[in-house]
Amino acid sequence: MDEGYLSYRRLIWRRFCRHKGGIVAGGVLVSLYLVALGAGIFAPYPHDRTDVRMRHVPPQSLRFSLTDGLHVYGLKSVRNPVTSELEFTPDSDLRFPVRFFSADAENGFRLMTSEGPMFLLGTDRMGRDLLSRILYGGLVSLTVGLIGVMLSLVLGTVLGAVSGYFGGWVDHAIQRIIELLAAFPPIPLWMALGAAVPPGWSSIQTYFGITIILSIISWGGLAREVRGKVLVLREQDYTHAARAAGAGHWHIITRHLLPGCYSHIIVVATLAIPGMILGETALSFLGLGIRPPMTSWGVLLEEAQRVEVLLDNPWLLYPAIPVLFVVIAFNFLGDALRDAADPYGG
């Protein structure tokens, strides 16, 4: 077959497509992001809807029968006299059909709802539906990772390119700053920055504060990589040619040097996102992350971090699964991109 000439980008795409794992991962991620963005529709309940009578309900199964279609059983509850906890059992006499694409005044337009309680992953200590919280939390966690990485990207790329291109004391200064950041223990840095978030900031503002904090710490690695690449590329003929032709520094950096780094940058960025997501869970664990009423996977896991949960209400650990999936998927994707971007590798 006569393939003719393929551009660098097409070459990469073809190599990427050969990596089945990467494609699957990419697909999974895209769908997860779509679901998260559509949390308002996919989730059966709002994320902060509390229901005092429905605390610590175990996950309810979806059942199917020819007469009732897709439905869930109702719940019977008994209060344990000693611990004062409610204990739930499914009541097969009561069946609530699942409705699709319905809107109601209380909950808005949603994909799946039901007249009766439908807690497919159980509820937490305030009677909030875990599935909905995972979806809404996913929106926060996934976007924190993405935005944080984008900020790091910009910071790291620009500073790395500047550092590599100009050399001299600029390079030295930026290198020292990167080293300093690398030598600084991350937790105190997080903590201090977390403590510096002023009072009265809403959850949204805190959310952005957290993403900025996460990105501040991690741009160094990317900057170093970009610098390395730029150091090599700046000695290439075409760079000299451009300079001889009178092109400005900025023009050279953006039009000639950076494009050579793009593939590399994308790979590093993709591999950095899981770190960001895990970083958010760690921050929330320390109490410095997302604040209520917003929720995130980190917040959900922090709430699950009790002996009581592990012994009595283990379904509250489910948020760990999407974290796992997303991190694994990003790693696969990054791997595939890395293999694809390096056409001369083995």
Partner 1 sequence: MIAYVIRRILMAVPTLVAISIIGFVIIQLPEGDFLDRKIQELQEKYGDSSSMARVEGLRERYGLDRPLWQQYLTWVSGFVQGDFGESFDFEREVDELIWDRLGYTILLSLGSMLFTYVTAIPLGIYSAMHQYRWPDHLLTLIGFVGASIPGFLLALALMVAMFEGFGVPLFGLFSTAYEGAPWSYGKVIDFLNHLWIPVIVVGLNGAAGLMRIMRGNLLDVLGQPFVQTARAKGLKESVVVVRHAVRIAINPLITIFGMSLPGILSGSTIVSIVLGLPTIGPLLLRSLLNEDIFLAGTLLMMFSVLLVIGNLIADIALAWADPRIRYEA
Partner 2 sequence: MTDGQKTAGFISGFLIVCVSACGDVRIKDSTPRNFPTNLDAKEAPMLAAAVATGDLPPLEERLPDRPLVARHDYAGYERPGSYGGTWHAFHTGSDLGVWKMVGGYAPLIRWNWSCTGLEPGLAESWSFNADGTELTLHLRRGVRWSDGHPYTSRSFAFWYELCLDDRHQYVPPVWCLVDGKPMTVETPDEYTIVMKFAGPNWLVPLWLATGYWWSEEYNIPEHYMKRYHPDINPAYTDFVEFQRHNVSHQNPERPSLWPWRIARIEKGGFRVFLERNPYYFVVDDHGRQLPYIDRIETTLIPEPQVRVLKVLAGEIDCQFRDLDLRDLGLLVKGQERGDYRIKMWKSAAGAEPAVNVNWDDKDPVLRGLIRDQRFRKALALSVDRERCNEIAYRGLLQPQAATVSREAWHFSDPEGQRLFAEWEKADAGFDLSLANRYLDEMGLVRRDAQGYRLRPDGKRLSMVLDAPASAVALAENDVALIIADGWRKIGIDVVLYTPPGAELKLRRDLGTFTVHLHSEAEMDLFTYPDWVFPTVASYWHPRTGKWYQTGGKEGEAPSGPMIRLVALYDAIKGESSLEKRHALVREAARIHIDEGPFHIGTVGRKPYPVIVGNDFHNVPDEGILGPWAIVAPAISFPEQYFMESAP
Considering only residues 66 through 85, tell me which ones interact with partner 2, judged by CB under 8 A: 80, 82-85
Which helix (H) or strand (E) segment holds residue 71: the answer is strand 69-79
Of 13, 101, 184, 250, the one binding partner 1 by CB under 8 A = 184
- Helix (H) or strand (E) run with residue 110 in it: strand 108-114
Q: Does 310 bind partner 1 (CB under 8 A)?
A: yes
Q: Does 55 bind partner 2 (CB under 8 A)?
A: yes
315 binds, among partner 2, partner 1, none (CB under 5 to 8 A by kind): none
Residue 115: name its binding partner from partner 1, partner 2, none (Cβ under 5 to 8 Å by kind): none
Find, among 207, 238, 237, 212, the residue nearest to 139 by Cα: 207
Does the protein bind partner 2 through residue 191 (CB under 8 A)?
Answer: yes
Q: What is the dihedral of CA 90, 91, 92, 96, to 10 degrees?
A: -90
Would you say 62 or 310 has its CB closer to partner 1?
310
d(CA 199, CA 317): 31
Nearest to 270 by CA among 342, 208, 332, 200: 332
Q: How far is CA 223 from the centre of its chain?
A: 22
Taking the complex as a whole, the smallest distance from the CB of residue 179 to partner 1 amounts, in Å, to 6
CA distances from 285 to 64, 147, 278, 282, 303 (A): 39, 20, 10, 5, 9
Which residues lie closer than 8 Å to 346 by C-beta, 6 or more apart?
none
Asked if 194 touches partner 2 (CB under 8 A), the answer is: yes
Binding mask 290-319 for partner 2 (x = CB under 8 A): -xxx--------xx-xxxx--xx-------
Helix axes 203-233, 258-285, angle to 10 degrees: 150
Cβ 56 to partner 2, closest distance in Å?
Answer: 10
The binding site for partner 2 (CB under 8 A) comprises: 50, 52-53, 55, 80, 82-85, 125-127, 191, 194-195, 197, 199-200, 202, 285-288, 291-293, 302-303, 305-308, 311-312
The binding site for partner 1 (CB under 8 A) comprises: 176, 179-180, 182-189, 191-193, 195-196, 274, 278, 281-282, 285-286, 301, 304-305, 307, 310-311, 317, 320, 323-324, 327-328, 331-332, 335, 345-346
